[in-house]
Amino acid sequence: MPFENLLLSSCLLPGQTYFKESKASVKVEPLAGETILFFNIDDQSNPGCKLRQFFWGIEKGQKMCDLMVFYAKDSKRVICFVELKDNIGDLGHATEQVINTYNTFKVHLKKSYTAKAFIYACAGSLPYEHEEYQRELLKAFGKNNFDFNNRSNDALGDLLRGNPPQIGGGKRKNKK
């Protein structure tokens, strides 16, 4: 399914830059000159979206993230794969979901964009101990192209715009 078909499907959330699933939510406040599109691609929460069927047909058990967010400003194009969790303890599952969705998606779209991943959990501490998942995300998306947190600020917006992840007012680089 080309990206154009996603724009015309029920996956697109027109005019929305906020998404909530269970207790977790993300929001991006668009700045001047930015285009931000949210796509609710998980058919568990959006039965009208048929992206899972397009990707995997009737095959069961494939992991898929909740959202794809398209970001554009000037010549910059970003597609961000987003997973929301109630607890950061689900980081391993979330990592698998964003990587699996991206790996399947990129087969259907030429690489004229920057791929990123964002995992948000509304509870739990930041998972410094989860270096294995950081390495997996680094390998799939590259340095400074992923973030996971449980802050309620504009962390997703910062990631889309290319601003380094922030923790407690200090800069944190994605660990290798």
SS3 per-residue string spanning 23-42: CEEEECCCCCCCEEEEEECC
Mean pLDDT of the chain, nearest integer: 82
C-beta of residue 136 within 8 angstroms of C-beta of residue 39: no
User: 6 vs 9, which has greater pLDDT?
Assistant: 9
3-state secondary structure of 64: coil
162 token code pair: 């290319």
Q: What is the mean pLDDT of residues 78-82?
A: 95
pLDDT for residue 157 is more than 90: yes
Predicted confidence at residue 122, as pLDDT, reads 73
- 26 assigned to some structural domain: yes
Question: What is the pLDDT confidence band of residue 49, given thresholds at 50, 70 and 90?
Answer: confident
Predicted confidence at residue 172, as pLDDT, reads 40
User: 174 vs 70, which has greater pLDDT?
Assistant: 70
Task: Give per-residue pLDDT as tens, 91-150.
Answer: 888 999 999 999 988 887 777 899 999 998 877 655 555 778 889 999 999 999 998 876
pLDDT for residue 161 is more than 90: yes
Q: Containing domain of residue 132, as a range?
A: 3-171
Nearest to 33 by CA among 71, 69, 73: 73
pLDDT above 90 as % of the chain: 43
Number of domains into which the chain is organized: 1
Bridging pattern class, strands 114-121 and 146-149:
parallel
- 49 assigned to some structural domain: yes
- 176 assigned to some structural domain: no
pLDDT for residue 3 is more than 70: no
Predicted confidence at residue 95, as pLDDT, reads 92
- 18 assigned to some structural domain: yes
- 76 assigned to some structural domain: yes
Q: What is the mean pLDDT of residues 73-92?
A: 89
Question: What is the pLDDT confidence band of residue 87, given thresholds at 50, 70 and 90?
Answer: confident
Give the span between the Cα atoms of 135 and 131, in whole angstroms: 6
Predicted confidence at residue 130, as pLDDT, reads 72
